[in-house]
Structure 1
Amino acid sequence: MADSLPLVYVVPVMVGLAVVSLSVAGLSSALEARDRGLSVGSGLTLPLRETARLMRQRPRRTVSADRLLWRSASSAVIPLAVLIVAFVPLGAHALVDHPLGLVWINALDVVAWAVMWLLGWGVNSVTGLVGGYRFLALALGYELPLMFALTAPAIAAGSLNLAEISATQDGLWFVVWTPVAFVAYCWGVLGFSVRPPMDPGAGSDVNGGILAELAAVDRLLVLAGRYALLVAGSAAAVPLFLGGGAGPLLPGWGWVLIKTILVSGLLVLAGRRLPTLRPDKLLELGWVVVLPLVVAQDLVVSVIAVATN
């Protein structure tokens, strides 16, 4: 098990999460600018310019909106990402070292269901409500495959502690012999972070869905939180599938950071290249294709784990 870090390290970890999230947002904007034939440099700086614009913008109000639910949901996205990162071992240390760390990460991902749905429900608009229910339908499609994907490294390591799962991969990372689980996990990360192509709840065909009525700081918190969730999910993939802080020369936390950035970049690129499907098609893909494959992966891992006990 990893040693728990003193609370004084909370601030550096949060700053690191913010910097990586901003970098990933810049990468996404730069790729979009390139696809549109615009300057890549303008895309890289777009997150900063958008932040400044939203900070000056006036909040939007809708008739009979439930402001408590709306504001609570928009304010909860970033803390969810911080809590996920808190369980990730940074080499030999973690902010929170818990024997059931993997269960906590899965539970926090489920909380994202409520947060995203409340964004649509609390605003009291048609587009917001449609977007919220779209997200719930999509969540049914990615959540079960994600849960079984998380089961694979737990079975292989015989533990639910992230540090122990990471240590078990000495010599052979789980991504090598559980590739289906890794792909299903990444698919789930795109889902709970509402990133393309898993973002029909915020699709342009419903005028932005859960994002339609968000403005000013509320919108900034949610947009930043989506990238933070993407980075947090990528960070959790490091001890689960990529050997944690294992690597030459650099300290453990350095390798965790590098691997997190690489996985985040991979997910952004995948989101730009994969086709966008209708919610019903995404649900069908999750239950008919991804779920059976990842269950079969778990069965293979179970047989290997028992045979090599």
Structure 2
Amino acid sequence: MTDSGLVTVSAGWAVVAGAILCSLAVFAIALDTGLTARAQGARGGWTTIAGRFARLLRQRRRTTVAADTMLWRAGGVGMFIGAFFMVAVIPLGQWTLADLDVGVVWLNTIDVLVWALVWLTGWGANSTYSLIGGYRFLAHGLAYELPLMFALVAPAIAAGSLNVGAVAAAQDDDLWFVVWMPVAFLIYLIGVMGFSVWGPFAAAVATDITGGAGTELSAVDRLVFHAGRYLFLAAGAAFSVPLFLGGGAGPWLPDWTWVLIKTLAVLAVLVWSRRKIPLMRPDRFMTIGWTLLLPAIVVQDLVVSVLVVWKG
């Protein structure tokens, strides 16, 4: 088992970690808005974020008849808060907020929690389109979750540990895991888009059902829910760095700088991919997930296991 070598910082540094996560989410929003404006031949996409933010803050909150307000809003707030719990175990160079022995499992735990959060948002509104959006997300989740779990197993097997710092440290004197487990890396990114309700997995909030799970959301509720999607996208991109991209390994610059650079690169790819990968119907992706992704990642785990045993 590889030692993590991490320094656990005090709880007060959680404010800094939260600020970094929010900054990454703002970067994703700005990039997404800019690319959208460019695709439409418009200008000023990067400068519209503040205006949209202010408009939602000024907007009056509305509700539907017989809505379960507590469950409805708990889903949206949970989407916003959940991503902050996810980054608690991500090392920023040599520092981390929580050096858990089962940090890899922690990611999967928060990811599964998203199932309940999106479902509560769709169910609590007492609206047909919102409910359909919730069901769509559960269908996508059934297809991506098991391949994602096996994708997380691959770097853990290679490092001989479920500790995130140990997984990153195992790549210090070896090839980054992305080089010899590319299938796991690709399926991991698919999983990130899945639990972020992003790109091809945004059917739960698609326009054909007038926004799906977010149809009835307004004002601060809408802001919090959709901000949570970007926060999860940023957190998922950050988690890929210690798992597959060598953590803070890199020349010249401090290790924490490399973590941020790699995170920004992965996040930019995820934002860009939204326009390159078509929206997938849940039923069709379930076929892909169970007949293609799952066998592929099982073979990848088998290859990794054989290589680990062969290397002794």
TM-score normalised by structure 2 residue count: 0.97
Q: How does 1:210-229 map to 2 (within 5 A)?
A: 210-229=213-232
Q: Which residue of structure 1 aligns with residue 114 of structure 2?
A: 112
Matched, 1:38 2:48: no
Q: How does 1:153-172 map to 2 (within 5 A)?
A: 153-170=155-172, 171-172=174-175
CA distance in 2, matches of 1:76, 1:92: 29
Deviation at 1:216, TM superposition (A): 0.3
CA distance in 2, matches of 1:110, 1:87: 17
Structure 2 residue corresponding to 1:52, chosen from 28, 51, 54: 54
Q: Which residue of structure 1 aligns with residue 290 of structure 2?
A: 287
Q: How does 1:131-280 map to 2 (within 5 A)?
A: 131-170=133-172, 171-280=174-283
CA distance in 2, matches of 1:277, 1:106: 23
Q: For residue 198 of structure 1, what is the amino acid of its counterpart? A: F
Matched, 1:8 2:12: yes
Q: For residue 308 of structure 1, what is the amino acid of its counterpart? A: K
Q: Which residue of structure 1 aligns with residue 128 of structure 2?
A: 126
Structure 2 residue corresponding to 1:302, chosen from 302, 305, 308: 305
Runs of 4+ in 1 over 3 A off after TM superposition: none
Deviation at 1:288, TM superposition (A): 1.1
Q: Which residue of structure 2 aligns with residue 97 of structure 1?
A: 99
**Matched position secondary structure for 2:52:** helix
**Matched position secondary structure for 1:111:** helix
Supply the RMSD in Å over aligned alpha carbons: 0.8
CA distance in 1, matches of 2:61, 2:290: 39
Deviation at 1:46, TM superposition (A): 2.4
Q: Structure 1: any 5+ residue segments left out of the alignment?
A: none
Deviation at 1:271, TM superposition (A): 1.5
For structure 1, which segment, 270-279 or 111-120, has the greater mean C-alpha deviation from structure 2 after superposition?
270-279
CA distance in 1, matches of 2:50, 2:251: 34
Q: Structure 2: any 5+ residue segments left out of the alignment?
A: none
User: How many residue pairs get matched?
Assistant: 307
Q: For residue 39 of structure 2, what is the amino acid of its counterpart? A: D
1:46-104 per-residue CA deviation (whole Å, 9 max, x = no partner) reads 22211111000011110000001011111111211111111101111101111110111
Q: For residue 132 of structure 2, what is the amino acid of its counterpart? A: V
For structure 1, which segment, 130-139 or 248-257, has the greater mean C-alpha deviation from structure 2 after superposition?
248-257
Deviation at 1:155, TM superposition (A): 0.6
1:205-251 per-residue CA deviation (whole Å, 9 max, x = no partner) reads 11110010000000000111100000000001000000001111222
Deviation at 1:289, TM superposition (A): 1.0
Structure 2 residue corresponding to 1:70, chosen from 72, 78, 85: 72
CA distance in 1, matches of 2:139, 2:56: 30
1:3-42 per-residue CA deviation (whole Å, 9 max, x = no partner) reads 2111121111111111110011110111111111111xx2
CA distance in 2, matches of 1:49, 1:184: 36
Q: For residue 116 of structure 1, what is the amino acid of its counterpart? A: V
CA distance in 2, matches of 1:60, 1:17: 29
TM-score normalised by structure 1 residue count: 0.98
